[in-house]
Amino acid sequence: MHIGMVGLGRMGMNMALRLMQGGHTVSGFNKSAENTSKAEGFGIKAVRSLEELAESLPAPRIVWMMIPAGSPVDETIESIKGAIGPGDIIIDGGNSYYKDSIRRYHALKEIGIRFLDVGVSGGIWGLTEGYCLMAGGDEDVYKTLEPVFQTLSQSEGCLFCGGPGSGHYVKMAHNGIEYGLMEAYGEGFELLKASPYGAELDLSRIAHLWNRGSVVRSWLLELLESALNKDRGLEAISGYVADSGEGRWAVKEAIDAGVALPAISEALYRRFRSRQDDSFAEKVLVALRKEFGGHSVKPESE
C-alpha cells in the first residue's frame, strides 16, 4: 500500500522505514528541512507541502499523522482535508486526547473522510522490534488497513479496540500504567542505592538478574539495565521528568468515573515535583515545624 506520513520525527521516520521494509510505499512530509532531506536519503518520497503529499497518493488516499497532540493535529487536518476527498483515510497515531479524536471523527465523517485514532507504543525501538497498535473508529476501515498495521506491529501486536476514540483511550490507560511502573522501579532502585550495601551493589546486574525469572521482569527493566551499564550512577542526567499529557488525562478520567488510581496519580505528581528545585510546599512544612515546635531552619544560602 502507499502511505502518506506526516511527521518524520523519531517515531514517524522509523515507522516510515518499517513500512518500506515491509514492501509498502511511503510519501513523507515534515516541516523540518533537515528531516525531509534525511527522509530522502532513506528512500522516502519526501514532499514539501501537504497538498503535494495528497497529490502523491493514489485513491483512496491514506494519510498517517505522527505529530504532537492538540492544535497541530487540528491544523494539519484543516490544511489537508481540502486536498483529499470522500473515501480517503486520515490516521492520528499521536498521543491525542480521546475526546478530541471523537470530535475529529464526526467532523470528517460529515465530508466523507474516514478517520482512525491509533495509539502507538514501541518508542525508538519500534523499527526493529515492531510496534503495539491500538485502533479506534470504523472496523471496516481498520480491516482495509490491516496489512499496514501488521507490517508495523509485532505478531498479534495490533488490535481494533472499538468505536471512535477507543484507540486513544486504551493508549491513555497504557501510558498511565507505564507511569506507575516507572515510578515503582525508580523507588525500588533508590532504596537499593541508599541501602547499607549501596556502594557494593551493582544495580545494572540486579536489573539483569530480575529479568531472569522474577515476577517484576519487563522490557522497562531491560532498558534500565542498559541505562545503568552506560552510566552506573546516572550522574550524567538530571532528575527532571517531563510528561506527555496522557497521565494527566488518565487521572482526570478516573476522577470523572469515580475510579481510584492511587499509584498512577502519585507517579504523575512525582513528575511535577521533579521539576521544582525548591518546593514552596516544603518551605511551608519547614516554617510550620519551626512555628509549633521550634525546630531549626536551614537558611536558603546553605
Q: What value does the mean pLDDT take over residues 187-206?
A: 93
Helix axes 246-257, 262-274, angle to 10 degrees: 140
Residue 138 resides in a domain: yes
Residue 111 belongs to some domain of the structure: yes
C-alpha cell at 234: 546516572
Annotation says 171 is catalytic: yes
Q: What mean pLDDT, rounded, does the chain reach?
A: 93
- Calculate the dihedral angle through the C-alpha atoms of 92, 96, 101, 104, rounding to the nearest 10 degrees: -70
| Per-residue confidence band for 278, with pLDDT thresholds at 50, 70 and 90 | confident
Residue 267 host element (H or E): helix 262-274
CATH of residue 105's domain is 3.40.50.720
Tell me how far apart the terminal alpha carbons of the chain are, to the nearest angstrom.
64
Contact 208, 228 (CB under 8 A): no
Cα–Cα distances (Å) from 13 to 36, 75, 121, 205, in that order, read 10, 21, 14, 33
| Short-list 194, 223, 183, 196, CA closest to 207 | 223
Can you tell me the mean pLDDT for 37-62? 91
> In the chain, pLDDT over 90 holds for what percent of residues?
76
Of 82-86, 154-158, 250-254, 290-294, minimum mean pLDDT range:
290-294
* Counted domains in the chain: 1
- Of the residues 171, 183, 246, 253, only one is catalytic, namely 171
Contact partners, residue 114, CB within 8 Å, separation at least 6: 87, 88, 89, 90, 108, 137, 138, 141
The residues with which 90 forms a beta bridge, in sequence order, are 63, 115
Of 178, 193, 222, 266, the catalytic one is: 178
Q: Which three cell numbers stand for residue 166?
A: 477507543
Q: How confident is the model at residue 35 (pLDDT cuts 50, 70, 90)?
A: confident
Does 87 map to a domain? yes
Is 298 annotated as catalytic?
no
Q: Quick one: pLDDT at residue 301?
A: 61
Task: Give a yes or no: residue 194 inside a domain.
Answer: no
Structural domain contains residue 147: yes
Domain that holds residue 113: 2-162
Residue 270 lies in a domain: no
